[in-house]
Amino acid sequence: MMFPTPMPSESRIRTSSPSEGERAGRHAMESTRVHETYCSQSGVMMDENFPTQKASYSPTPFSLQHFGAYKIESPVRAAECTTIPSSEICSSPASQSPVLGSHGSEVELASQSHASGRESQLGSSPQEMYEHLWVGSPPLTAIPEERAEDAANEPLLNPSSADVSKVSTVNYEASVPGDWSTPAAMIHPIPSDGPLSNPTTLPIPLPLQEAVGVTSTDPNASPLESFQNSPGAGDNDDSSSVVSVNEGASTFSDGDYYSDNSSYTASLLSDVKNYSYENGRRYHSYREGHYVLPNDDQEQDRQDLLHHVRNLVLSGALYRAPLGPDIQRALDIGTGTGIWAIDFADSHPSAEVTGTDLSPIQPSWVPPNLRFLVDDAESPWLFNAHRPFDFIHARDLGGAIADWPHLLQQAFTHLRGGGWIELQEFEVTLKSDDESLRRAPVLCEFLGRLHQASEEFHRPMNIAEGHRQRLIEAGFEEVRDEVFKVPSSSWPDDPIQKQIGRYNLCSLLMAVESYSLALFTRVLGWSNTQTQVFLAGVRRDLKNPRSPYLLQSSYCLRSEAELWSELGLRIRLPGGCFLTCLEPREPSWITLLLSSTSEALHGPKVVINMAIGMYKALAISSPQVLTMLFCTTYEVLFWIESAVALTLLWLLLDAIYQLYWSSLHQFPGPKLWAVSRVPLQLSVLRGYNHLDMTALHEKYGPVIRISPYELAFNTPGAFQDIYRARPGGCFLKDRTHYLPPANGTDHLVCAVDHSVHARQRKLLAHAFSDRALREQEGLVQGYVDTLVTKLHGEIEKTGSEASVDIKQWMNYTTFDITGDLMFGESFDCLKDSQLHPWIQLIFKSMKALSFAGVVHQFPLLRYLSNFLIPKEVTHKAKQHFDITAEKVDRRLEARVTRPDFISALLQNGVREGSKGPYTDGEKTLSRAEIHSNAFILIIAGSETSATLLSGCIYYLCTHLQVMHRLVSEIRRSFLKEEDINFRDVAALPYLAAVIEESLRMYPPFVTSLARVVPSGGSMIDGHFVPGNTIVSCHHYASYRSPTNFSSPNDFIPDRWLGQNARFTGDRKEVLQPFSLGPRNCLGKRLAYSEIRLILCKLFYHFDVTLSPESINWTQQKVHFLWDKPALMVRLRSRFAANEKQRA
C-alpha cells in the first residue's frame, strides 16, 4: 500500500550568475549548517503537518530558539551579525539547487563551524568552503564553549556590515524585547495548564532573514498552527536536523523537550521537503547528491512491492533474527516508506521503534510506538548510548553508504549486549542454474556498468556478500549469512515461487531506472535519452521468459558454525554450501572458489551439492588445487576426528562413573539406561514407553534406574512418599519434564513454586466445589441428552442398527461440555457431528508435544529447539493458545451470570496485567493466569474423560458378562430417564467398580509425574534416595504390575467390590489416576459425575456391541496421550419405535 505525501507548497529563492563573494557567503552558511547537523543529529523531529522542535542546548555562535511551552530564564545580550544581501544567496554549484530558503515566516538558522578552537570566517575561500560542503570534510569537533566574540573580544561576525532585526515568536500574543547572548538560556518546561507569562523576542541577523525568506517581522503576525509534541526517546542532548513525521501525542518520553511551535523546525521541514527534480524523477534534498535513488511515488511503490516480495520469500516473517518477547527498542535504518517499521511496530506493541530516512515520505497514521526521523545514518549518531537498541534493522542500502565500517561501528556502539543487527540486501547481480544469462547480453552489460558507476561514486551497489566480514570486523559475534534464491520472473513450477517471481519481475522493471538513472547521467556522463534507450533493452531481457535469472538475498545475522584452515579457506556450513577464500595464496584458489560457489546448489542435500561443485572445480583447475584441497581437508578431518575422539573418551569415562561410582549405582536397571538418558527418551519417542516400563519393573523390581539421575517406583508406599504432603514440604516438580507455558505464565501443571501453585489452586477451586458441581449439572445433562438424541438419529438413518465411532462421539460430548463450562460457548461438535477445527488441531499436536518434551530433556537440544522443532509445530501451538486466550477474553467480557468455571473466578474479579508481584492473600487471578490455565483445562477436562469412556466401553464390549451385569444394574435402578442424575448414579456400586477397573486398565494419563528429591536426600518406600534425584511412579506400569494386582492384565471389576477373597491381596491404594496430595486433579468430582452420567444414559437407551474391526483397539502407542484409532461399535435402541420417538 502506498502512503502518498503531498508535494510541498514552499518556494525557494533562486539567483543566477553568482559572484565569487556571493558563493563565499553562501558556502559559509551552508558549511556551518552541515556542522550543526553533525553536532546534533537526531533531536528535532518534524511532521509534514505538525512540525516540532526539541528545546535543548546547541553549540552555535548564534541561534534563534522559539519555545512555545518553555521559558527562558537567564539574561542575554545583543550581538552584532554580518549583513549579507539576499541577492548573494546563490544555488549550489554541485546540483544547481538552492541551499537555503523557506517560505513565509519560517526561519532556518545556520551555525558557524569551528576548527582548532578558532572561528571560521565568512570571507573564507569559496573553493575551500565548497570542498568542505560538497566533497566532505572530516568530522567537526564540538565547540567547548559558546561565545559571541573571539579571543580578542571581537565579534565573530563583522560588525561593520551587520544589521540586526527582531523576529517575534509567532505563537506569542505580545513581543517582549530580550537580549541575545551566550551561553544559551536555560530551558524549563511549563505546565500545560498555564500560558507563558513572559514571551521573549530574539534578534536574528537580517541577511539570514532575507536568505531564508522571512518577509515580515511584525510581532502581531498570525501564529503558526499549534503542533503536538513528537516522541523524543531521550536520544539526544543537542538540537538536530532530524525531522519526525509522527502525529499524535508522544509515546517516547525520556526527558527530551520539544517546543510546540518553532519557526526553526518549520524551516527544516520546508528545507527537507524542497526536493530536487532531475530527468523527470524526484530526489532527496537533505544530503542532496549523496543518494542516487529517487523518492517519488514511483519509487515508493517499488519499495512497497519489494517489501511484499520479501514477505513471500520469508513466509511472512519480517526478520530472521531470533528476537525474544522482551525487545524494548528497535531501529530501522533507511526506512524508506516506513512499511517495515510499521509492520514491526504493530507486531511488537511494547517496543519503541524508530525509523530513519533522508526524506519525510512516511505516512502520518502510524502505530503509537513508532516514530520516523529524517537523518543520515552516516553522520555521527547522537542516540543516547545509555539506552541502546535491542534490534537494529537495515535493508537495501547498497549504493547509499560510503563508509560501511563506520556505520557498523556506530551500530555496535548503540546495540545492547546480546542484541541483534540484521542487514537484508539483494545481491545486485543475476545468476542462473543453466546458461540463461548468455541470452541476456544487454542485462549483463547493464549490471557491469551499474557496478562501475557505483564504485566510481564511492558507494558500491553489490555489497551483500561482504556484510559478514564487515560485521565480524566491527566486533559482532555469531554472524550468520543466509542466502535465499529469488526468481526474477514466473518461470518456476512451484506456485509460491511463481508468485514471488511475478512480483519480483515488476519490482525489477521499476528498479532498473531507479538505480541507474542518476548514476549513469551524473557519473558516466550519459544523457537521459541515451540512458532510457539502453534501459529499454534491459527491460526486454528481463521480460524474456526463457531466461530464469535468480536473485540472491543475503541476511546477515549472528550465529554460524565455521571451519577454518591456515590456508585461508572458510567453509560456511549452515544455510548453503559456499566456499570463501579469506586470503588466497594462489590464483587456483579463486578458480576453486568461483566454480564451487556457482555450481553448488542450496537445499537439503548440502553435502552432495558441495561435492558436485568441488568436482567440477577440480576438473578445470590446476594440480596445485588438489594438493591444497587435500591439505585443507586433512586439517579439517584431523580436528573433527580429535573432537570425536575426545567426546567418545568423555562418554566412556562418564559411563564408568555412572555404573560404579555414582550415588545411584546401587539401584538396579538396564546398564545402557543408567549411563545415558537417550534410551529412555527414545522409548518415549517410539510411543512404547508404557510397555517398556512395565517390562523393566517385572525384570528388575519395584524400583529401577531409568536414566543417570532418575529412578522409577511402582509401589503404593512410593506414591505416598513422592506425591503426598510432607512436614518439610512436598517434593518439587522437575522443570525439565514440563514444557514452558505458551505465554510465560505458570499454570497449575507446570508451576514449580509451591506458593504459586497453592495460590492458583485456591482461587480455581471455586469452579470445582460441590456447590459449583450442583449448579453445573443442568448444563451437563443437556449435552448428554443431545448425545442420546444424535445417536438415535444415526440409527434412524440406517434402520434398526447403526455403526458409529463411539470414540468420536465421546469426544464431541466432553469437548462441548468443557468448552461451555470454560468459555461460555459450545464447540458445536454434537450439533455438527464433527470435531471443531481447533480440537482437531489439539489432537494433531499431541505427537509434536511428545517430541518437544523429549527435546526439552537435553540442554543442547533445548538450545537448538527453534531449529529442531518444525515451524509448523510451533505455529500450531501458538495458534492453539491464541484461540484459548481469545475465547477466555470474550467470556470475561460477556459477564454471563450462569454457573461455569469463569463465573466462579469472577466472584473475586480479575487482576489485569500478564504478570507482576502478588501476595499470598491475593484474591484474584491475572488475565494471563486464566489464559494459561484455560489452555490446560480444556485438554484435562475433555480428552481425558473421553479417553476413559472409550476404554470403558471397549472393555465392556469385550467382556459381555460384565456389560450385561452393568446394564441390568442401570436399567433396574432407573425406570425413567428423568431419574438419572448426578446423585443417584453415584450410588450404583457395580458402575463404580467398572469405572475403577477401566481406570486401572486404560488410565487416561499413562506416564508419570516427575518430582525432585530435596538436596539432603529422602526415604522413599524404604529406600534412601540421594538429593536432586528425579523420582516418579509410572501409572500404567504400576497398575499392570503383578506385585500390586492379581491377574493384572484381566478386566475384573469384582476386585473393587471386596466380595472375592481372590483379590484381598490386591494393593488397590496404588491406583491414583488423578494423582494425590496437594497437587491432585481439581476436576476429579466433575469428571466422575460426567462419566457416570454418560455411561448410564448410553446403556439405558442402547444395546452396544463391538464391531470386528476394533477387536484389537487397545494396541496403541502413547505420545503424551493415547493414540486412539476409531472405536467402531453397533448401536441398537432398546425401545420400540413409538417409545424411541418419545425418547
780: how many CB neighbours lie within 10 A of its CB? 22
Phi-psi bin for 579: left (phi > 0), alpha (psi -120 to 50), beta?
beta
Q: How far apart are CA 72 and CA 463, in angstroms?
A: 49
Q: Which DSSP string corresponds to 299-363?
A: HHHHHHHHHHHHHHHTTT-S--S---TT--EEEEET-TTSHHHHHHHHH-TTSEEEEEESS--S-
Give dist(CA 587, CA 591) in Å, integer.
7
Residue pair 258/246 in contact (Cβ under 8 Å)? The answer is: no
Q: Are 1033 and 721 in contact (CB under 8 A)?
A: no
Cα four-point dihedral sign 123, 128, 133, 138: negative
- Grid cell locating 794: 444415526
> Which residue, 768, 748, 750, is CA-closest to 758?
748
Report d(CA 710, CA 692) in Å as an integer: 16
Q: Which cell numbers in the block locate residue 905? A: 473466578
Q: How far apart are CA 111 and CA 38, in angstroms?
A: 11
Closest residue by Cα to residue 79 from 182, 175, 1, 232: 182
Distance separating alpha carbons of residues 397 and 392, to the nearest angstrom: 14
Cell 519509487 maps to which residue?
Answer: 299
Contact 134, 289 (CB under 8 A): yes
> In this structure, which amino acid lies at residue 516?
S
Pick from 423, 587, 456: nearest CA to 523: 456
d(CA 733, CA 213) in angstroms, rounded, equals 75
Pairing of strands 370-374, 352-357: parallel
Q: How far is the C-alpha of 563 from the C-alpha of 574, rounded, in Å?
A: 11
Q: Which of 948, 687, 942, 750 is nearest to 838 (CA)?
A: 942
Smallest CA-to-CA distance from 58 within 286, 257, 354 is with: 257
Is 1081 among the annotated ligand-binding positions?
yes
Question: How far, in Å, CA of 876 to CA of 841, rounded?
Answer: 7
Contact partners, residue 824, CB within 8 Å, separation at least 6: 890, 891, 894, 896, 898, 900, 902
Assess contact for 1088 and 987: CB atoms under 8 A. no
Quick one: 584 exposed, middle or buried, by C-beta within 10 A (0-12, 13-18, 19+)? middle
Annotate 1115-1137 with three-state secondary structure: CCCEECEECCCCCEEEEEECCCH
First to last CA, the chain: 60
Burial class (CB within 10 angstroms; exposed 0-12, middle 13-18, buried 19+) of 544: middle
Euclidean distance between CA atoms 574 and 562, whole angstroms? 9
- Cα(572)–Cα(560) distance, rounded to whole angstroms? 8
Closest-CA residue to 906 (of 897, 919, 916): 897
Q: Please give the full DSSP string across 524-535, using - where no structure is assigned.
A: S---HHHHHHHH
Burial string for 291-328 (b: 16+ CB within 10 Å, else e) reads bbbbbbeebbbbbbbbbbbbbbbbeeebbbbebeeebe
Residues that constitute the known binding site: 1081
Residues that constitute the known binding site for heme: 1081
